Structure 1
């Protein structure tokens, strides 16, 4: 088992200034477009729209500055996060910091934490709603499969294997990459999905869950609302239907970010939408999940750390302590994968368990490739992908299910300095 990589020998974090590729395009093109969509898709007053436009105009060469909504609950935290990067341009700052900071600046611009027209208004609610509405058929099919698996008392292993894959490919529905209604990658065809699965460590996770002497607690770092959230909730439903899992804790964002990242409110809104569906299996899925919430077998948690620029090697003690209570941590999506790997320039052939932050519980990462951060691939895979599909690191067409064991030693858990 590879030892955790010492912080002194970690690769550099990604920065927009280092590349003419996806990272730079995100800062120069995608973020301004997202800010423009917030103006178009909301009915904010002119004063708020002017603040959003000012942020848009600031990209990519404006300076990183402190936040100005000092009354916000996370203001003191962000003062610390900004300090090392103050005065740098958006391209010069580490990309993961810049991305979390950009979305936090959007909330500053809309007045999310102030009294007024933008108070507690999710500026991405239109996209989230459309992401759910436009996948109603897929949600119905997924709920029908869950009903059939329960009615026919299918074996847990093939059911969970299928649900892990559904949750993985659900990550293709990313509204920061493709707006609702815009054509993006979609591997609904099972054969195509298998062809695009580069690493599959599902068996390691299932073996870990099914060989324990007590029911496991599984934690999930959730990613996007919409169909991906429904696929994650279906996985929760499948996990709780087995004797191997006693409780699932889903960790969500404390405020809107990354366009479609899910909050606790999004979970409740999704369950309400499912409860009102015409199809009985969809309503039944909602009922089972609401029952699990009522009984405490399903718990929803949020924390400021998940909307922060802190990478997993620098998580504070309380976040590590919460992780340590779980028997398995499932991380969903690209941003959580980037947090786990520190958003650093790892060679794609670096073993995953070496690149991933050493955490006190085993990790299973379900991720479709939508950024230039990757590990755990073979040289032959990388060569083939570069020849076959040069945009493979960022186009959402390729996915991994990757396992890393726990590193419970005090040395392994010592946080590295954030950069």
Structure 2
């Protein structure tokens, strides 16, 4: 690790909440995230009301008080307090990190990436330490409801990808056709990241349908502000039964896009194995847990349990067919889902070779290519810093780019925070003139590559 880079001493200023309220970090801390925490409290209160156990109800009310206390600490700018042990296995890491790097930091003085990840870890610890609610996913209702509301669009998309995969298999020697199909699948996975419930907590079914239509149509592709797709294809097209890992972000429609990309890669023989990396605890409203992943596969296999009203017969058939194939991929080990604790820990991903050594040495370096999905994973890849916008993506990654064993690293991210690298300065100037909030509006994206041991592509 370079000596000038520690979590509390970085080469460029970290994003913190501006005292004059002028930046997105302030907006998130002052308005957006308290709104999310209020939703957690209200939704959990509704769950308590459904319980028939007096003990669970009593404990639930106590948990609600703890959540309210957390919100009070956040909005009144208290010091980030140590976490209570919830037996998940990473509290000592969290508390050592807080004590070493941010011992007296408050919510408004702490870097955005620090207080936001701390918030979600602390919410999880409140539930995990309980007797009756330790397995309760306080975001599950919202995640499942948005997916259920879009089942017609889901089935249409699956039918489209099923047809695309069959067409690709029938003409797999046509490299131009394979390239174009890959571009479509990769960009669909990118734009699936727009369906993020931590950024859009009030997303309704109509807005979701409209967003999905834009994603599927390719309308947004001109908004990719840094695009290494062709270089990524050079790597993927050389694979014959390789391994591709996907570090997941949001469940629901984004997860579906990721699963469809994996389906295409395996079906065409580019990947013999795909490993999906999920979160062990509920995280950032809509991030994928193991339960979310397997729920999606079951929903595809048996859509009638979710709702098929308005769904075309041929689309439903394609959805069921793909769901059955995915279940088989999981059964025979072609696909694996793993939930390492590092992904919900405090360290940025440049620390994978040291603080996340088990994940780095035992998993990621075995992959030919690792795809990091979404805004938070991007922020943890490069850190929430005021990077000069033209800083090469590779330069911001640290040791995970320079390790001679490193896999190719791909970032697929729609930008929802005002930190970014690898953008041409003239392009950035044009974007700022057109839309001041382009870096955190969620309307623009990047597809970026660090080639790792695939040097020369």
When normalised by structure 1's length, the TM-score is: 0.91
1:53 aligns with 2:68: yes
- Specify the alignment match of 2:105 in structure 1: 88
The equivalent position to 2:329 in structure 1, one of 276, 292, 296, is 292
The CA distance in 2 between the partners of 1:358 and 1:150, in whole Å, is: 36
What 5-or-longer segments of structure 1 have no aligned partner?
410-419
CA contact (8 A) 2:187 2:221 kept: no
Match of 1:190 among 196, 217, 240: 217
1:120 is aligned, of 119, 135, 141, to: 135
Query: Which sits farther off after the overlay, 146-155 or 234-243?
Result: 146-155
Q: Which structure has greater helix proportion? A: 2
Cα drift, residue 89 of structure 1: 0.7
Quote the Cα distance in structure 2 between the aligned partners of 1:244 and 1:290.
20
- For 2:97 and 2:385, locate their aligned partners in 1 and report how far apart those are by CA, in whole Å: 18
Q: Is the 8 A contact 1:264 1:300 kept in 2?
A: yes
Deviation at 1:161, TM superposition (A): 1.3
The Cα of 1:36 is off from its aligned counterpart by: 0.6
Measured in 1, the distance between the counterparts of 2:155 and 2:43 equals 27
How far 1:70 moved relative to its partner? Answer: 4.8
Distance in 2 between residues matched to 1:189 and 1:262, nearest whole Å: 21
Corresponding residue for residue 340 of structure 2: 303
1:358–1:406 contact (8 Å) kept in structure 2 = no
Kept in 2: contact 1:65–1:87 (CA 8 A): no
* 2-structure distance, mates of 1:107, 1:156: 43
Aligned to 1:416: none
Residues 122, 189 of structure 1: alpha-carbon distance in 2 compared, 3 angstrom cutoff: closer
Aligned-partner SS, 1:29: helix
Q: Which residue of 2 aligns with 1:400?
A: 446
* Alpha-carbon distance between aligned partners in 1 of 2:389 and 2:85, rounded to the nearest angstrom: 40
* Partner secondary structure for residue 188 of structure 1: helix
Q: 3-state SS of the aligned residue for 1:249?
A: strand
For 2:219, what is the secondary structure of its paired residue? Answer: helix
Post-superposition CA distance 1:311-336 (Å, at most 9, x none): 01112222221211110011100000
Specify the alignment match of 2:358 in structure 1: 318
Q: Distance in 1 between matches of 2:135 and 2:275?
A: 25
Matched, 1:361 2:407: yes
- CA shift digits 1:336-355 (9 cap, x unpaired): 00011022221111111212
SS in 2 for 1:156: helix
User: For residues 407 and 11 of structure 1, do their structure 2 counterparts lie closer, same or farther at Cα, with a shift above 3 Å needed?
Assistant: farther
Residue in 2 that maps onto 1:106:
123
Q: 1:352 aligns with which of 381, 385, 393?
A: 393
**Residue 12 of structure 1 corresponds to which residue in structure 2?**
13
Q: Confirm or deny that 1:222 pairs with 2:248.
A: yes
Is 2:212 the partner of 1:171? no
Deviations, residues 119-149 of structure 1 (Å, cap 9, x unaligned) = 1100101111112112212211210112212
Tell me, what secondary structure is at the counterpart of 1:391? Answer: coil
Q: CA deviation at 1:189?
A: 6.3
Match of 1:62 in 2: 78
CA contact (8 A) 2:226 2:446 kept: yes
Q: Please identify the structure whose Cα radius of gyration is greater.
A: 2
> Could you tell me how far 1:243 is from its partner in structure 2?
2.0
Following superposition, the deviation at residue 6 of structure 1 comes to: 6.8
Task: Output the TM-score relative to the length of structure 2.
Answer: 0.83
Query: Which shows bigger deviation, 149-158 or 24-33?
Result: 149-158
Task: Give the 4+ runs in structure 1 shifted more than 6 A.
Answer: none
Q: Which residue of 2 aligns with 1:329?
A: 370
Partner of 1:412 in structure 2?
A: none
